[in-house]
Chains A and B, each alone.
Chain A
C-alpha cells in the first residue's frame, strides 16, 4: 500500500529527534457520503535497526482512541474528526514518544522509537515483540511484563509465568517446573524459543522445558489452542520466549546479573556482552552465558534431600540487518544436572503408601550441594538461522531454520538393572534411561502487504525428528518422524472491528522401530488433519475491547501414549500405552474483555474447550505384579473431555504511587465419558498484589518500591475417586514481600532487588506438586538480585 523509503543511516539522528511525516497523502477531501472523518495511519519502527515494532500502542490522547501495530509495524485509526491531537506511542523496551499533530486530512506517519538500551541506565529489557506479536489476535494472550520478568530472572521459566492468570505449574521438586495452561501441559503446550518450537523430551511430568532462565527478554503466553499458527499439538496453548534484538548502533555494551537464594543457598549469575562496529555497519553480535548452582531446598522443618542442581548455559547471536533485510544466527547450549529428591525415588507401591503415611521424609537429610543419584543430566543445543526480507509493494518474507539436539540421561539411585554386568557402584554411573532427540525444522512465512483492509500471513513448515534410546529403563521406542504443515491467516481491519480467520493442514508420518523385549513391532503411523480458527475484536468504547474466538485444533498421540510399558518412578504407577490411539481434537470458544486505561488495565477471559478423544490414563482394576512389588496399573485411553474456566487479571493505580492488582484462575475439567472430573486439574487460585513507589533519594537512589503479594489456593475438591494414592492436599495461603531500587554508585547504575517468598514459612503442598506424597513444598526463600550494565563503550 504505502511504500516506505527508509532514510539512509546518516538520517538516524534526525529521525530520532522527531517523528517524521513521511508522506502526507494529498488525498482528495472525502465526501460526506463516505467516511466522515480522516484516517491516521502509518508504521512504527526501531530507530536503530529499522525493524518494525509489533504490538506498539498508538493512542490519540484526546479521544482515548488508538491502535496496536501489526506484524509489519503498521497501524491505522479511522474516522477521526479534524483537529489537533497529541499522539502517544508506547512499546515495551522503547522510550515513549509524544507527537503533536494537526489532522486535517489522511496522514501516514513513520514513527521511530529509540530502544531503552542498558547503556541509558535503564534495565528495562528491550523486546522485539513489543507488547506481544499476537496482540492483534482475538485470542487470549498474556505478556509477562518485563518488570516481573526482571524480578524472576534466574529462576525457572515456570516461575516467571506463574503470576499469569490461567497459568499454573506442574512441579517436580524445586528444580523442575512445567507450565500448565488452563489445565493442559506437556505435549499439549508448545514452547517457542528464539522462533523455534522447542523439541525437548516431553514424555513425563518431570521433563521441564530446557530454557536458560536468564535469556528471555519477553515471554508471551497464548491461552487456548493455537493450532493454526503453531501446528498440531498446540491444543492447550503456546509460550513464546523472545530474546532482545541485537544492537545495531556502534559500540559495546554488557550486563551482569547476580542472584542469591537463601532457601537452597543458590547462587546464579549471567554475563552478557553485545556490540556492533562501524566497520561492519548493520552487523551485531551478542555473547551470553549463565551459571546456576543450588543446594538442597528446605521445607519448613526438614531438608528436601538431593534436590540441588547445577546449570551452565551459553549462547552466541550474530546478526545483520538493513532497511529491508535481516539475518540472525543463534547458537545456544543449555546444560543441567539436577538431583531428584531421594525420598521420592520410590519404585514400590508399598513404599509409597508407607511414605504417605509417614507424611515427611523418613531420613533426616543434611543440607548439601552434592548431587547424588537419582539425578537427571540434560543438555539441549539449538542452532537457529532466521532471515527476513521486505519486498516493496508485496510484503515481508521470513525463513527460519532450526536444529535441535536434546540429550536426556536419567540415573537411578542404584541401577539394579545393570547388576550382573558390573558392581552396584559402577551400575549407578550408567544412565538407566538415555534418549537423544534430534530435530530439524524449516519454516517459511510470508506476510503480505495490506490489500485494502485485509492483511495476513501464509506459511509452510517442515520438521524431521529422530529419537534414539539407550539405557535399561524403557520409556519410549526409537522413532523417526516427518511433519509438515501449511497455513493461511487473514485479518480484516474495519476501524473498531478487527476480524481474523485462519486454517491449516498438518500431516505427520512416523516410523517406530521394533523393540522385541517390549513387544513393539516395526510400524509406520500416519496422522493428518485440519486446524481452523476465526475471531473478532470489537473496540466498543475507548479503552475497552471485546474479543471472541472460535477454534479447532488437533494433536496426534505422543509416542509415550502409544508405547509406554513400565513403572513410572515417583508416582509408583505402571503405565501402559495403546498403539491404536487416534488423534485428539479440540473445539474451543473463548471470550475476552480487555481494558487498557491510563490508571487501570485488566482482562477477563471465559473459555469452554471440548476435547474429543482426549488421551488420559485410566486405572486398570488388575494390578501389575513385578519383582519390585505390585503396582496399580493405568492404561492410556481416550474419552471426551470438557475444560471450562475463567482467567482474570486487573490492576488499578489507586494513587499515583500505589497500585493494587488481582489475578484469578479457575478451571473445571471433566471426563464426559465417565462423568468424573479429570485428574490433576490445578486448584482455584487468587493472587492479590500491592505495589508502592517511593520517592528517590538524591541522585544515587532512584525509583525505590515496595511490594506485597498474597496467593490463595483452594483445595482441589474435584478429582476422580479411587485413582490416586492420596487425596488432594489442603488449600494454602502464601505471602511474598519485595523491595528494590536503582542505585548509582560512582556513576555505575545498579539495580537491586530484595524479596522474600513464602514470608511466613508456611508448610504447604500443591496438588500439582509431584512430591506432594513425600514432602512439603519449599519454605521461606530470601532472594537478592543485582544487575548492572558494564563496560559501556561508544566509539
Chain B
C-alpha cells in the first residue's frame, strides 16, 4: 500500500509512505513500513494505491470498480487525532465515499509522533452508509506518523 500526499501550497513537496509485505500474509513479516512525515500547518492532497506484490499488479482499479462494496477509513490515534484530519474526496456511484483520494490537514503546533490506522472495509451484507465501518476488514494497517 502506498500513500502519496502532495502539499497543496508547494506541489514539489511530496510525501510518500509504503506499507509492504511482499510474500503476503504469513511467512516473513512486512518488509517495509514507512513513517508518514508531515509538516505542521500544511495541507495535502492525498491518494492511495494498492498492489498485489505476489502477482506484481496494481489492484487499486478493482477497488474503484467495486467502490459500492468498499470504503477506506483513516483513523489517527489519540496522539495525532487533534492535529491530523483526513477527509475523503472520491465518491462511489451512490455518492458515498470510497477513500482512494483524500485531503489531509495538519494543524500547526508542537512536533508529535503518532499513528494513522487505515482500514479497508468490505460491505457485503452490512449496508454501506459512508459513515460506519463494516464488520469485515480487508485491510487493517498502521503507519507511524510524525508531525514536525
A→B interface (CB under 8 Å):
305, 342-343, 345-348, 350-351, 354-355, 361-363, 365, 372, 413-414, 416-417, 419-421, 423-424, 474, 517-519, 565-567, 574, 624-630
Contacts of A361 in B (CB 8 A): 135
Of B38-46, B59-67, B81-89, B101-109, the stretch lying at the interface with chain A is B59-67
> Which A residues touch B23, using CB under 8 A?
517
* A624-B29, A626-B26 known; A363 vs B137 contact (CB < 8 Å): no
State A100–B148 Cα separation when bound (angstroms).
103
Task: Find chain A residues with CB under 8 A from B26 CB.
Answer: 474, 518, 565-567, 574, 624, 626
CB of B140 closer than 8 Å to a CB of A: yes
List which B15-71 residues lie within 8 A (CB) of chain A: 19, 21, 23-27, 29-30, 52, 55, 57, 59, 62, 65-66, 69
Selected from B19, B24, B62, B136, the residue in CB contact (under 8 A) with A346 is B136
Any chain A CB within 8 A of the CB of B125?
yes
Distance, CA A414 to CA B139, complexed state (A): 13
- Whether B25 and A626, one on each chain, are in contact in the complex, defined by CB atoms closer than 8 angstroms, is yes
Instruction: Give the distance to chain B from A577, nearest Cβ to Cβ, in Å.
Output: 11
CB B72 to nearest CB in A, in angstroms, measures: 13
Question: Is A351 in contact with B137, judged by CB distance below 8 angstroms?
Answer: yes
Report how far A417 CA is from B119 CA in the complex, Å: 17
Query: Are B62 and A363 within 8 A (Cβ)?
Result: no
CB-defined contacts of A574 to chain B, threshold 8 Å: 26
Contacting pair A416 B138 (CB below 8 A): yes
Query: What are the residues of chain A within 8 A of B25 when measuring CB–CB?
Result: 566-567, 626-628
Known: A518-B27, A565-B27, A624-B29. A351 touches B62 (CB 8 A): no
Q: Which residues of the other chain, A, contact B55 by a CB distance below 8 angstroms?
A: 420-421
CA distance A343 to B134 in the complex (A): 10
Whole-angstrom CA separation of A384 from B24 in the bound complex: 42
B112 at the interface (CB under 8 A from A): no
Given known contacts A305-B125, A420-B59, A627-B1, A362 and B135 CB-to-CB distance under 8 angstroms: yes
* Cα-based distance from A528 to B40 in the complex (angstroms): 67
Among A414, A420, A423, A519, point to the contact of B124 (Cβ < 8 A).
Answer: A414
Number of B residues near A (Cβ < 8 Å) is: 32
- Whether the Cβ atoms of A363 and B19 lie closer than 8 Å is no
- Which residues from chain A contact B138 at a C-beta distance below 8 Å? 414, 416, 628
Selected contact of A413 from candidates B52, B66, B122, CB within 8 Å: B122
Collect the chain B residues with CB atoms within 8 Å of residue A354's CB.
Answer: 135
A345-B57 contact given A414-B124, A420-B62, A519-B27, CB 8 Å threshold? no
Task: List B residues at the A interface (Cβ < 8 Å).
Answer: 1, 19, 21, 23-27, 29-30, 52, 55, 57, 59, 62, 65-66, 69, 119, 122, 124-126, 134-142
Question: A419 contacts B52, CB within 8 Å?
Answer: yes
How far in angstroms is the closest Cβ of chain B from A294? 19
Residues of A within 8 A of B140 (CB): 348, 350-351, 627-630
Residues of the A chain whose Cβ atoms lie less than 8 Å from the Cβ of B21: 625-627
With beta carbons under 8 angstroms apart, the residue of A362, A413, A414, A419 that contacts B59 is A419
Q: How far in angstroms is the closest Cβ of chain A from B56? A: 8
User: In this complex, which of B119, B122, B125, B134 has the most chain A Cβ atoms within 10 angstroms of its Cβ?
Assistant: B125
**For residue A363, which residues in chain B have a CB less than 8 angstroms away from its CB?**
125-126, 135
Cα distance A565–B29 in the bound complex, in angstroms: 12
Q: With A424-B66, A626-B25 in contact, is A413–B141 under 8 Å at CB?
A: no
Residues of B within 8 A of A416 (CB): 138
* Bound complex: CA A628 to CA B50 (Å): 13
CB pair B135–A628 under 8 Å, yes or no, is no
Q: What residues on A are CB-neighbors of B139 within 8 Å?
A: 627-628
A604 to chain B, nearest CB (A): 47
How far apart are A62's CB and chain B's nearest CB, in angstroms? 69
A-B contact count (CB 8 A): 96
Q: Are the CB atoms of A628 and B136 closer together than 8 Å?
A: no
Between A and B, 15 residue pairs with Cβ closer than 8 Å are A305-B125, A348-B136, A350-B137, A351-B137, A419-B62, A420-B55, A420-B59, A420-B62, A424-B62, A517-B23, A565-B27, A567-B26, A626-B30, A629-B140, A630-B140
Contact of B27 with A627 in the complex, beta carbons under 8 Å: no
Of all A-B residue pairs in the complex, the 8 with the closest CB atoms, nearest first, are A629-B140, A420-B57, A348-B137, A420-B52, A362-B135, A363-B125, A626-B25, A420-B55
Residues of chain A within 8 A (CB-CB) of B52 are: 419-420
Q: Determine the residue in chain A with the shortest Cβ distance to B127.
A: A363
Interchain CA distance A474-B24 in the complex, whole Å:
11
Bound-state CA distance A593–B8 (Å) is: 84
The interface residues of chain A lying within 8 Å CB-to-CB of B30 are 625-627
| Cβ–Cβ contact B137 & A628, under 8 A | yes
Beyond contacts A348-B136, A365-B125: 18 other A-B pairs, Cβ-Cβ < 8 A, are A346-B136, A347-B136, A350-B137, A351-B135, A363-B125, A414-B124, A419-B59, A474-B26, A517-B27, A518-B26, A565-B26, A567-B26, A626-B30, A627-B21, A628-B137, A628-B139, A628-B140, A629-B137
Partner of A345, one of B24, B62, B136: B136
Give Cα A439–Cα B125 distance, bound, in whole angstroms: 40
A89 to chain B, nearest CB (A): 60
Query: Given A420-B52, A567-B26, A627 and B135 touching (CB < 8 A)?
Result: no
Which of A365, A413, A517, A626 counts the most B-chain CB atoms under 10 A from its CB? A626
How distant is B70 from chain A, measured CB to nearest CB, in Å?
9
Taking the nearest CB of chain B, how far is it from the CB of A235, in angstroms? 29
Determine which of A347, A365, A372 lies in contact with B137 in the assembled complex, contact meaning CB atoms within 8 Å: A347
- Tell me the complex Cα distance, A624–B21, Å: 12
Chain A residues with CB under 8 Å of B125's CB are 305, 342, 363, 365
CA distance A365 to B126 in the complex (A): 9
Output the least CB separation between A716 and chain B (Å). 27
Contact B19 A413 (CB under 8 A): no
Q: Which of B29, B57, B62, B137 contacts A423 (CB 8 A)?
A: B62
When chains A and B are docked, how far (Å) is the Cα of A355 from the Cα of B135?
7
Bound CA–CA A643/B66 (angstroms): 51
Task: Provide the residues of chain B in CB contact with A414, threshold 8 Å.
Answer: 69, 122, 124, 138
Q: How far is the CB of A72 from chain B (nearest CB, A)?
A: 54
CA gap between A565 and B55 in the complex, in Å: 20
Give the chain B neighbours of A372 by CB distance below 8 A: 124
Closest chain A CB from B116 CB (angstroms) = 15
Contacts of B122 in A (CB 8 A): 413-414
Per the bound structure, the CA–CA distance linking A346 and B124 in Å amounts to: 13
| A774 CB, min distance to chain B CBs, angstroms | 9
> Closest CB-CB distance, B32 to chain A, in whole Å?
12
Query: Is A627 a contact partner of B141 (Cβ separation < 8 A)?
Result: yes
Q: How far is the CA of A474 from the CA of B135 in the complex (A)?
A: 24
Q: Which residue of B lies closest to A373 (CB)?
A: B124
In the bound complex, what is the Cα–Cα distance between A138 and B7 (angstroms)?
81
Q: Chain B residues near A345: list those with CB within 8 A.
A: 136
Complex alpha-carbon distance, A88 and B3, angstroms? 84
Complex interface: chain B residues within 8 A of A518 (CB) = 26-27
Residues of chain B within 8 A (CB-CB) of A305 are 125
Contact A423–B19 (Cβ < 8 Å) = no
Bound Cα distance A423, B64 (Å): 11
For the complex, give the distance between the alpha carbons of A566 and B27 in Å: 8
Residues of the A chain whose Cβ atoms lie less than 8 Å from the Cβ of B19 = 627
CA distance A348 to B137 in the complex (A): 6
The docked-state distance in angstroms from the alpha carbon of A351 to that of B122 is 12
How far is B135's CA from A365's CA once the two chains are assembled, in angstroms? 13
* Chain A neighbourhood of B135, CB < 8 A: 343, 346, 351, 354-355, 361-363
B24 CB to closest chain A CB, in angstroms? Answer: 8
- Chain B residues with Cβ below 8 Å from A630 are 140, 142
* A413, B136: Cβ atoms closer than 8 Å: yes
Taken together as a complex, chains A and B put the C-alpha atoms of A72 and B30 apart, in Å, by: 64
Bound form: Cα–Cα A81–B126 in Å = 79
A348 and B134 alpha carbons, distance in the complex (Å): 12
- Pair B65/A423 contact, Cβ less than 8 Å: yes
A310 to B123, CA, bound (A): 26
Task: Give the chain B neighbours of A626 by CB distance below 8 A.
Answer: 21, 25-26, 30
B62 surroundings in chain A (CB, below 8 A): 419-420, 423-424
Tell me the smallest distance from the CB of B114 to a CB of chain A, in Å: 17
Expressed in whole angstroms, the minimum distance between the Cβ of A563 and any Cβ of chain B is 11
Q: How far is the CA of A362 from the CA of B55 in the complex (A)?
A: 34
